[in-house]
Amino acid sequence: NYSCFGGLPHCCPSGAPNMLSSSISSRDVEQQFTQNPQGSFTFTVGHTSYSLNFSTMTQSNHITGLQRKVRRRPKLMKVISCFCRLSATLTPPAPSSSQIGVVAYRWEFMGDREQWTEYQAHVCSFDSAAIERHFQFNQQGKLHFRINRHSYTLDFSSMHQVNNDIGTRRAVRRTPTHGIQLNSTQAQWQFLDINGAWTDYSKRKCSISSQEIEFQYQLNPSGTMKFSTSSFSYELSFSAMTQRNLSTGTTRAVRRLNQ
């Protein structure tokens, strides 16, 4: 494991003598990663040179050829600090007296058998809680992670994950698991389909249901939310009551029916 990712001033990749000064620090590595998440660069420890490959998340000893896995983890306190500073702009309107609790979210991707599968820390680099922290920090950003030998990119803006090795693209969804309770009013959300008929939002067709739309609407009636189908990503605007295809730009009317 690459010890300088833990923030130590002296990095000692396995195979190098202890306490040899490295030519890079965690901050240097992060700067290179930010500039090119799929790139690579070289560094030295003592008289030994190494290369670090971000796309495969490995480091290679140029003399022995030995490869080691590398991982990138957020510093939790820094994420919390940044989130607190941004809370004034990121926090939705306060819930009413009929709403209680703190919201937790589950992050899932569409699996091979057309079933939603939750991200788990023992399978990939991040679980739902870690993904949610990154999402709150930058809701238009991207998150890079690994599952076994493959590297992936999770795009918050399009709510998709992409296998960086073979290009497979899968829908991703974010759903509340517990916390704020919906008001007693139940509503059905529909969009005006291409055939001119009003069609219910359903998880049989897309990544969200009417209940989840209503949940977000009650949190912020003037906000937006993103969702996806097997082919496209969309943005639903509560203020305009429209949905927009983020690829084609096609806009369709949306309505909310009280039941």
Q: What pLDDT does residue 209 have?
A: 86
Q: For residue 219, give the CATH number of its domain.
A: 3.30.720.50
* Within a domain: 205: yes
- The domain total for the chain is 3
Burial class (CB in 10 A: 0-12, 13-18, 19+), 162: middle
Domain boundary among 123, 141, 176: 176
Q: What pLDDT does residue 252 have?
A: 95
Query: Residue-wise pLDDT tens for the chain (259 aa)?
Result: 333 433 333 444 444 444 456 677 887 888 777 777 778 878 888 788 888 888 888 899 998 989 888 887 655 434 333 333 333 333 344 344 344 344 678 898 888 777 888 888 777 778 888 898 888 888 888 989 888 888 999 999 888 899 999 999 988 888 877 554 555 557 899 999 999 999 999 888 888 888 888 888 888 888 899 988 888 899 999 999 999 999 999 999 999 998 6
Same domain, 193 and 157: no
Same domain, 62 and 8: yes
Query: In angstroms, how far is CA 146 from the centroid of its own chain?
Result: 13
What does the alpha-carbon distance between residue 128 and residue 199 come to, in Å, rounded to a whole number? 30
Same domain, 169 and 208: no
* Within a domain: 89: no
Q: What pLDDT does residue 178 have?
A: 59
Same domain, 200 and 253: yes
Q: What is the DSSP string of 82-128?
A: HHHHHHHHHSPPPP-TT--S--EEEEEEE-TTS-EEE--TTTBS--H
Phi, psi torsion values for 116, nearest 5 degrees: -70, 130
Domain carrying residue 221: 187-258
Same domain, 172 and 198: no
